[in-house]
Amino acid sequence: MKFAVIVFPGSNCDRDMYHAVKGVLGEEADLVWYQNSNLENYDGILLPGGFSYGDYLRSGAVAATSDVMNQVREQAAKGKPVLGVCNGFQILTESGLLPGALMRNRKLSFMCHQEELVVENNQTIFTSGYAKGEVVRYPIAHGEGNYFCDAETLADLKKNNQIVFTYKNNPNGSTYDIAGITNKEGNVLGMMPHPERAVEALLGSYDGLKLFQSIVKNWRESYYVANA
């Protein structure tokens, strides 16, 4: 499987993401500069964390208007897996690929520590390697990770089983303790915690490795079925 790790001006978790899929998982991966992007030949797209464009206007707002996001939309519409982490999640909401918005943390301060998450939906291409209700540990590192949506959107998220991860102890004020959601089709996941920083015991947790393994496993199964 070949991943594109999209790099915007200000991205600072792109190498972490690259290392997770290339160095640890052993899959193909390229760091793809947002201006030189052709995503047609990639099997999965990763939007890393960081501070794209210095978080001017709103976090992810400028990156969401870039030409590469039109390509991301096209590839997502074809069913390819798209994962946005932290700033990547913010970009996905700003670009309309996911509902809701990310606001300032409840205590208005940057937070950087390990958090326990609950796997609410293990029937996605991202979480099939987990058990439903499993508690995992990922680090968070954000100042604007407070997920917000209106009551109607929340009802839709629940109805369509789009809430994938929740915080066990909500650190930032997110609506319904939400830490990660998918689109209705289930192939676009946005989350604030960092699975790419939880792929080796040296990092304090390797719970995030299952997420990347799940993507690869499901892609291979669908690829072999399509080419049988």
CATH number at residue 215: 3.40.50.880
Q: List the chain residues with pLDDT less than 70.
A: 224-228
DSSP 166-197: EESS-SS--GGGEEEEE-TTS-EEEESS-GGG
The predicted structure's pLDDT at residue 58: 86
Residue with tokens 């606001």: 103
Whole-angstrom distance, CA of residue 101 vs CA of residue 179 = 12
The predicted structure's pLDDT at residue 169: 97
Catalytic residues: 86, 194, 196
Give exposure, 72-90, as e/b (b: 16+ Cβ within 10 Å).
Answer: beebbeeebbbbbbbbbbb
Maximum pairwise Cα distance, the chain: 53
The predicted structure's pLDDT at residue 225: 66
What pLDDT digit, counting tens, does each position of 10-68 carry? 999 999 999 999 999 999 999 999 997 789 999 999 999 999 998 888 899 999 999 99
Whole-angstrom distance, CA of residue 64 vs CA of residue 190 = 14
The predicted structure's pLDDT at residue 37: 73
- Number of domain units in the chain: 1
Separation of CA 48 from chain center: 8
Percentage of the chain surpassing pLDDT 70?
97
Q: What domain range includes position 119?
A: 2-226
